C-alpha cells in the first residue's frame, strides 16, 4: 500500500474546485503524481505556465509529421520506428499489397491502429475485416498477415507492449460497461474466407524475438486452425464504439479516456464529445506537469481543440518534467466557449519510462514546435 503524505492545505488565492472558477486573471497548473492517478496540487499563476521565451537543452516538446515518411517493404517489421524503451516501441507502417508471408511477435502483445484504409486480417484465430479507426490487439505469439483493399493502402500506427500484455483499465465506480462494453469487442471468425486461404503451399513466418528477426518455413499455410476455444484472444474495437466519460461541469483528465493498459504505459483514445457547458468550467486541457510519464499523441482525424497547426498523421511528444497544456489560441477559444463539441480523434500513450527518439522520427521532426506556445 502506498502511504502518500496526504494532508491537503491551501495557501493564498485559489479555486475551491480544480479546473473550474479560477481566481480572476489566473492560470491553473496541476502538479501530480502517478500521471493523473495520484495526489496533486493546483497552482494559480499570473501568467500562462507555457509562456516561455525560449528553452535550451534536451528537455523540450517534439512534433513529428509522419505524412512525410516514405514507407517501403512488405512486412510490418519494416515499420518506421518512432520511439522505444524497455516497455514499449511505437512505429508506423503502410501496407500497400497483400503480405506474402506471416509474422509473429514473440517480444510482446501487438496493438495496431488503422489510421487510413481498409482490408482483411488473417491470424491464428481466423479472419477479420478492418477499417479506419480500428484497434486490433494481437496477443504475443499470434501469427498474422494483412491484405489491404485495392482502393487505398492500410496505414497503421503500431504499439508493442514489450515483455507484457494489453489489458483493460479498471473502471471503478462507473462500472465495467462504461466507456465501452466488452460485448462490442469483435473476435476473428473461422469463416469461408479463412478456410479458403488454407492452402498446401510453402509459407514463411518471420518471427521477431529479442528485437531480431528469424524466418521459419512451412510446406503449408500454418493458419490452418479448424477451431479454437479460450480467452487469450485477438480482439478489435473501433473508436466509434467508444462512449467517452463526460462531465458538463468539470474537465476530466486524460486518464478518464484510457482504453488499454500495459506494463509501464497506458493507451487512451480521445473521441468526439460535448465540451463542458458550465460557465466556470475549464473547456480545454489544463496546464500540467506530467512528471512521471512521457506523453505521446498520434492525431488521427478532426480539429484538435487544444493545438494549433496540427494535422492528421502528426505526433507530439511532451517529455516528463515539461510543463505543457493548450496553445494560446486554443485556450482563448475555450475561454470564449466558442466551440460546443470536439470532433477530434487521437491516440495518446503515457509511458512511465522515457522514450528514446529514433532516427526515423528525427527525420520528420518539426523543430519549431517548441515555439508554438508563444503569443503570435
Q: What H or E segment, with its residue span, contains residue 238?
A: strand 235-238
Catalytic residue among 19, 115, 127, 251: 251
Give DSSP secondary structure letters for 169-196. Answer: PP-GGG-TTSBS-GGG-B--B--HHHHH
Question: How buried is 271 (Cβ within 10 angstroms: 0-12 exposed, 13-18 middle, 19+ buried)?
Answer: buried
Count other Cβ atoms within 10 Å, centred on residue 299. Answer: 22
Please list, in sequence order, all residues whose beta carbon lies within 8 angstroms of the beta carbon of residue 58, skipping any fewer than 6 positions away. none
For the question of residue 127 being annotated catalytic, the response is: no
Is 127 annotated to bind a ligand? Reply is no
Is 288 annotated to bind a ligand? Reply is yes
First to last CA, the chain: 48
C-alpha cell at 316: 507530439
Task: List C-alpha distances in Å: 233 to 40, 107, 149, 319, 374.
Answer: 37, 17, 25, 33, 47
Please list, in sequence order, all residues whose beta carbon lies within 8 angstroms of the beta carbon of residue 254, skipping any fewer than 6 positions away. 36, 268, 270, 285, 348, 350
Is 294 annotated to bind a ligand? Reply is yes
Alpha helices in the chain (DSSP H): 192-196, 328-335, 359-362
d(CA 197, CA 351) in angstroms, rounded, equals 39
Annotated binding site for homogentisate: 324
Active site residues: 251
Annotated binding site: 288, 294, 324
Annotated binding site for Fe cation: 288, 294, 324
Amino acid at each position: 500500500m502506498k502511504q502518500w503524505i496526504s494532508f491537503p492545505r491551501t495557501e493564498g488565492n485559489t479555486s475551491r474546485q480544480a479546473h473550474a472558477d479560477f481566481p480572476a486573471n489566473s492560470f491553473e497548473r496541476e502538479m501530480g503524481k502517478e500521471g493523473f492517478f495520484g495526489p496533486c496540487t493546483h497552482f494559480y499563476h499570473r501568467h500562462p505556465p507555457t509562456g516561455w521565451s525560449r528553452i535550451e537543452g534536451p528537455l523540450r516538446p517534439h512534433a513529428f509529421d509522419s505524412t512525410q515518411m516514405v514507407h517501403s517493404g512488405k512486412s510490418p517489421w519494416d515499420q518506421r520506428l518512432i520511439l522505444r524503451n524497455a516497455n514499449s516501441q511505437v512505429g508506423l507502417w503502410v501496407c500497400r499489397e497483400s503480405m506474402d508471408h506471416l509474422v509473429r511477435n514473440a517480444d510482446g502483445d501487438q496493438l495496431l491502429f488503422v489510421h487510413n484504409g481498409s482490408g482483411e486480417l488473417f491470424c491464428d484465430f481466423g479472419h477479420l475485416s478492418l477499417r479506419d479507426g480500428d484497434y486490433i490487439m494481437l496477443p504475443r505469439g499470434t501469427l498474422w498477415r494483412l491484405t489491404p483493399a485495392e482502393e487505398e493502402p492500410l496505414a497503421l500506427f503500431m504499439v508493442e507492449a514489450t515483455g507484457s500484455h494489453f489489458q483493460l483499465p479498471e473502471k471503478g465506480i462507473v462500472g465495467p460497461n462504461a466507456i465501452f462494453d466488452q460485448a462490442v469487442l469483435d473476435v476473428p471468425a473461422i469463416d469461408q474466407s479463412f478456410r479458403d486461404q488454407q492452402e498446401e503451399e510453402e509459407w514463411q513466418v518471420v518471427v521477431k524475438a529479442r528485437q531480431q528477426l528469424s524466418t521459419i518455413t512451412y510446406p503449408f499455410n500454418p493458419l490452418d486452425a479448424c477451431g479454437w476455444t479460450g480467452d487469450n484472444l485477438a480482439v478489435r474495437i473501433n473508436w466509434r464504439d467508444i462512449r467517452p466519460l463526460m462531465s458538463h461541469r468539470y474537465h476530466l483528465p486524460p486518464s478518464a479516456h484510457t482504453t488499454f493498459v500495459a506494463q509501464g504505459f497506458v493507451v487512451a483514445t480521445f473521441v468526439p464529445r460535448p465540451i463542458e457547458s458550465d460557465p466556470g468550467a475549464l473547456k480545454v486541457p489544463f496546464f500540467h506537469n506530467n512528471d512521471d510519464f512521457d506523453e505521446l499523441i498520434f492525431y488521427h482525424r478532426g480539429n484538435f481543440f487544444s493545438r494549433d497547426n496540427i494535422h492528421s498523421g502528426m505526433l507530439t511528444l511532451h517529455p516528463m518534467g515539461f510543463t505543457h497544456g493548450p496553445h494560446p489560441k486554443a485556450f482563448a477559444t475555450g475561454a470564449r466557449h466558442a466551440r460546443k463539441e470536439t470532433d477530434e480523434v487521437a491516440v495518446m500513450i503515457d509511458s512511465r519510462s522515457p522514450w528514446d527518439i529514433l532516427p526515423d522520427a528525427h527525420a520528420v521532426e518539426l523543430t519549431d514546435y517548441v515555439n508554438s506556445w508563444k503569443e503570435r
